[in-house]
A = this chain, B = another copy of it.
Amino acid sequence: MSHDTHLSLWAADRLHNISELRFRVTKTLMSARSEFQHVAVVDTEGYGRMLFNDSVAMISTRDEFIYHEMIAHVPMFVHPAVRRALVIGGGDGGTVRELLRHRGVERVDLVEIDRLVVDACREHIPETAAALDDPRCRVIIDDGKRFVAEAPDGAYELVIVDSTDPAGPSVPLFGAEFYDDVHRVLGPDGIAIAQAESPSHEPATQRRMLGLMRDRFSRVQLYNYANLIYPGGLWSFSYACKRDLCPVGDFDEARVAASALRFRYYSPAIHRAAFVHPQYQVDALAGLLSPWKSTRG
Contacts and interface: CB of A to CB of B under 8 A. Distances in A.
Interface string A9-23: 010000111111111
A263 B276 contact: no
A276 B270 contact: yes
29 contacts: A10-B20, A15-B46, A16-B46, A17-B46, A18-B23, A18-B44, A18-B45, A18-B46, A18-B47, A19-B24, A19-B46, A19-B47, A20-B21, A21-B22, A22-B22, A66-B278, A200-B228, A228-B231, A263-B279, A264-B278, A264-B280, A265-B278, A265-B279, A265-B280, A267-B278, A269-B276, A270-B278, A270-B279, A272-B276
B273 A200 contact: no
A232 interface: yes
A208 B272 CA distance: 29
What are the 7 tightest A-B residue pairs by CB atom distance, in nearest-first order? Answer: A18-B46, A226-B233, A273-B276, A273-B273, A20-B22, A265-B278, A18-B45
A273 B17 CA distance: 32
A265 to B, nearest CB: 5
Contacts of A230: 233
Which range holds the interface residue count of chain A? 35 or more
A105 interface: no
Contact of A18 (B19, B24, B277): B24
A165 interface: no
A81 interface: no
Nearest to A19: B23
A16 B47 CA distance: 12
Interface string A211-242: 00000000000000011101111100000000
A19 B18 CA distance: 17
Contacts of A276: 269-270, 272-273
Contacts of A10: 20
A282 interface: yes
